[in-house]
Amino acid sequence: MSATALRETLRTEFAFTLPRGFVDEEGAVHRDGVMRLATARDEILPQRDPRVRENEAYLTVILLSRVITRLGSVTQVTPATVEGLFASDLAFLQDLYRRVNSEGSTQVAVHCPSCKHDFAVDIAGGPA
């Protein structure tokens, strides 16, 4: 496969819909967002952050703030933004991060026990 073909097939951004949504200072709820693939730098630089050295759990906050490129109309996601998420949304994003960076996809294979049909489901969320 040529470099051009590889570049065209490599998916680097993943749209998602939060289960609950981020509530901003004005009370607006932001549920739809985009997460990009993490780079080595994204995973290395937060290790130097004093907040992470003080509390290892804070690594998740900084890491997600680096890879979430948009959350509703919020285009600059900061650690404070991630801190303001509901716990269920944080857990959702942690799982999404793991899936897209380990498996490269938000699709999971499922098997219906009733009709015995195999199909894929996008776990990144969306309209129910």
Whether 84 maps to a domain, the answer reads yes
Whether 19 maps to a domain, the answer reads yes
Residue 87 has pLDDT above 90, yes or no: yes
Query: Any idea what the CATH number is for the domain that residue 21 is in?
Result: 3.30.2220
Residue 104 has pLDDT above 90, yes or no: no
Residue 51 has pLDDT above 80, yes or no: yes
Residue 17 has pLDDT above 90, yes or no: yes
Output the pLDDT for position 102: 86
Q: Which amino acid is at 101?
A: N
Beta-carbon contacts of 52 under 8 Å, excluding residues fewer than 6 positions away, are 46, 58, 59, 62
Whether 128 maps to a domain, the answer reads no
Task: Report which of residues 119 and 46 the model is more confident about.
Answer: 46
Question: pTM here?
Answer: 0.75
Output the pLDDT for position 117: 72
Whether 127 maps to a domain, the answer reads no
Whether 47 maps to a domain, the answer reads yes
Query: Please, which residues bridge with residue 118 across strands?
Result: 111
Domain carrying residue 115: 3-122
Residue 50 has pLDDT above 90, yes or no: yes
Domain total for the chain? 1
